[in-house]
Structure 1
């Protein structure tokens, strides 16, 4: 196991702090804000999540923060005895990626099946960000690649900072600034990003995205791109004649809009004071007010976190959400 990286030993470089979900109590619930099709949490989803469950001790916190395309290899963040450890595990082995002294120091984890990117900060009070890449095949030490949270796809990482939008070839260790803007996402092997309220790209942008008016939150799994637009979640993938509205919420003053979308295959998870999962095939969205059911998609898995419980289920094993 690699030595614990001491608080003072984490390299810090000034840069843009990655936006990360706010920690909330594990039994936090809120009424549904949906104005679009809402369905209940299917029983088979509960059953499948219960098959791969990690029970945490009273002084332990366990969260599944990444998964490969099949959902059979997961990245797990575990905090115990004031030490937080990021571990890649599957049925055969366990590989430590990094350890730090506080849970809030490690965030923004992404995984493309081989490469892991993640960010650290020197302390909970100092959110100066350093971003690393780690190769699961080599199992060596993480390598610093930048000073802002990254997304990763097919061996390339992308992020934005004061210099612009970066695309980093992880195997070749080469960084290239491709434009000015923020919120980069991969669409195929190309990178798109936001600039002046519009999508931009190095080459021609898909025509269907030219008139989109995305908000600050954008996500992609390489095939489908989703974004927030006012009080709605929109998405587009190749083969669709135009973008679609995937879900909508009621607008209310001083409350959270749609934030932190994540997309994988036909499912999109997102947050608005609690968690939601939308099935793009049926147009239905699942929202539960049950404690211990904070749900997100990561790679090929649906993950659950809650009070002393963490679990994941391959998306391929879940039934489609029914139409309303």
Structure 2
């Protein structure tokens, strides 16, 4: 199945809905803010993206916004004729999750292989979210679960709002508040979140995270948690004796710092003015420059966004980035 992705992307990170501007003039070369190990885009990455690409029409926007672990099931968001549709696709079937009309937005899509969580907002100028959950096995109507963008893992959703950090059992439809803070992420079945510049947890916090000083962004794939700390991107997973520094940007950077981290397996995608992909194994980072396309991990897929070509490749098909 040929994968489709975006001309434009809208990303929500753990309760904060944010528009990501990716449209650039033709021939634009994005400057690099990286101040650590940098490598070029590997040829096999180019080949895999080219093999799984398609041209996007001039009057539509198509984005892969979610994928399962094997990248053979994807969530695709398509906008055409003033309708935006979210669809779950595999090689044999197509399931519509939701469609919105006119200026309404579908944002913050997350997928754990069964459950989908996403938010709608009335318009680009009114980004007040309503958050839903949808069970791909039952193929029923989406169910409203809250008013703030959620992350999802193994049948549970988590988000934060003025009441605190919520953990919602999607099958039982039961919500509970586990603490006060923001940016909840799953580490296994446990939930971590940020509060006063530290990680917090409902149960015992891993010793290796007690001295971490996360900034405003954190993410996890259930196995590895990544976070920003000053001008650096850090990570920790069970079995490591201590956190690792993955990438560093220039201190004098005029960008907003490191934002929108996403992790899947051994790859972390993030942004700082333009897009980057870091290999946890080697500590090397690939920076996108050509024609302002962007790379981002979603589940088991690496997606390419920008320009008139849409592409996605399974992470399992990509080589490791070499160390410097």
Give the alignment's TM-score, normalised by structure 2.
Answer: 0.92
Which residue of structure 1 aligns with residue 16 of structure 2? 18
- Unpaired runs of at least 5, structure 1: 1-15
Instruction: State the shift of 1:120 in Å.
Output: 0.6
Match of 1:212 in 2: 212
Per the alignment, residue 68 of structure 2 pairs with: 68
Quickly say closer, same or farther: Cα 1:26–1:312, change in 2 above 3 A. Answer: farther
- The answer (yes or no) to whether the contact 1:21–1:260 under 8 Å persists in 2 is no
What's the TM-score, normalizing by structure 1?
0.92
8 Å CA contact retained: 2:17, 2:127: no
Moved more, 192-201 or 98-107: 98-107
Give the corresponding residue for 1:304.
304
Secondary structure of the 1:149 match is coil
Q: Could you tell me which residue of structure 1 aligns to residue 11 of structure 2?
A: none
Corresponding residue number in structure 2 for 1:294: 294
For the residues of structure 2 that align with 1:17 and 1:207, how far apart are their CA atoms? 26
Matching of residue 190 in structure 1 with residue 185 in structure 2 = no
Conserved? CA contact 2:30–2:290, under 8 Å: no
Q: Secondary structure at the match of 2:16?
A: coil
Whether contact under 8 Å (2:56, 2:308) holds in the other structure is yes
SS in 1 for 2:193: strand
Residue aligning to 2:171: 171
SS of the residue aligned with 2:18? Answer: coil
Question: CA offset at residue 26 of structure 1?
Answer: 5.1
Match of 1:114? 114
Determine the structure 1 residue equivalent to 2:200. Answer: 200
Once residues 15 and 205 of structure 2 are traced to their aligned partners in structure 1, the CA distance between those partners, rounded to angstroms, is 27
CA RMSD of aligned residues (A): 1.5
Q: Name the CA shift for 1:97/1:189 in 2 (closer, same or farther; >3 Å).
A: same
The structure-2 alpha-carbon separation of the partners of 1:21 and 1:235, relative to structure 1 and needing over 3 Å to count, comes to: farther
Aligned-partner Cα distance in 1 for 2:29–2:119 = 28
Is contact 2:15–2:183 with CA below 8 Å preserved after alignment?
A: no
Q: CA separation in 1, counterparts of 2:178 and 2:55? A: 44
Q: Contact conserved, 1:17 with 1:127, CA < 8 A, in 2?
A: no
Tell me what 1:127 maps to. 127
Task: Quote how far apart the aligned CAs of 1:18 are.
Answer: 2.3
Inter-CA distance 103–211: structure 2 relative to 1 (3 Å threshold): farther
